Amino acid sequence: MVANPFTEGITLELKFSLYFSIILFILYIGTLYVLLTITLPITGQTELKLALGIMVIMHAVRTYHEHVFLQHHPLHGAQFIGANTLVLRDSNITEIAPYSYVSRYFIVLIAELANRQHSLIIFPDSLPDSTFRFLQIRLRHVYQTEDDTN
């Protein structure tokens, strides 16, 4: 019997994503490289570059901590109930925003919690294949209107 991706509960128990980690690593190394090679026509450019470099490194650490290692991420471990509703680990209920992004290569879930938007970036290697596919199907079709089907 084939599972129905619209009625089956999907738990977002993500694991470490090597794809996401590599992409972020390349982005942050590229940012630091550009920062080091750029010439600024101001005095004190070394101090400015150092301050900006520290900010980039701090942002990289925070991003890896929350999005790659999933430490204290509010959407990690959430359970889908219904088409677009999530029950979080702390039993709060939220809905997935209609502008969440779904592609063949990754999914960006966006939900509002305590008047703040949270995003969860999901790559195929962070979930079992069938779960990732079910999640893609569910999110692609939950907001589809009659105009989209014609």
Is 148 part of any domain?
no
Task: Report yes or no on 126 lying in a domain.
Answer: yes
Is residue 148 predicted with pLDDT exceeding 60? no
Q: Looking at the structure, tell me whether residues 63 and 35 fall in a common domain.
A: yes
Q: Please write the tens of the pLDDT for every residue from 19-33.
A: 999 999 999 999 999
Position 81 scores a pLDDT of: 82
Task: Write the burial class of residue 120 (CB in 10 Å: 0-12 exposed, 13-18 middle, 19+ buried).
Answer: buried
Question: 31-68 in b/e burial notation, b at 16+ Cβ within 10 A?
Answer: bbeebeeeeeeeeeeeeebeeeeeebeeebeebbebbb
Q: 6 pLDDT exceeds 80?
A: no
Higher per-residue pLDDT: 93 or 1: 93
What average pLDDT does the segment 63-82 reach?
Answer: 86
Tally of domains within the chain: 2
Q: Are residues 106 and 133 in the same domain?
A: yes
Token output for 9: 């509960």
> Quick check: 63 pLDDT over 60?
yes
Whether 58 and 95 map to the same domain: the answer is: no
pLDDT exceeds cutoff 50 at 145:
no
28-33-36-38 Cα dihedral, nearest 10 degrees: -110
Q: Mean pLDDT across the stretch 38-48?
A: 86
Distances (CA, A) of 139 to 20, 73, 100, 114: 20, 20, 8, 23
**pLDDT of 82 strictly over 70:** yes
The amino acid at 130: S
- The angle that helices 18-37 and 45-63 make with each other, rounded to 10 degrees, is 170
Is the pLDDT at 143 greater than 80? The verdict is no
- Residue 148's SS3 state is helix
Query: Scanning the structure block, which residue is given the tokens 């907001």?
Result: 143
For residues 16 and 76, give the distance between their C-alpha atoms in angstroms, rounded to a whole number: 12
Is residue 7 situated within a structural domain? no
49: domain range?
18-68
Which of the four pLDDT bands, split at 50, 70 and 90, describes residue 144?
low
pLDDT for 73: 84
pTM exceeding the 0.85 threshold for the entire prediction: no
Structural domain includes residue 11: no
Q: Residue 69 contacts by C-beta under 8 Å, 6 or more apart in sequence? A: 16
Task: Say what the pLDDT of residue 1 is.
Answer: 46
Residues 99 and 138 both lie in one domain: yes
Same domain? 83 vs 62: no
- Mean pLDDT of all residues in 82-98: 85
Q: How many percent of the chain have pLDDT more than 70?
A: 89
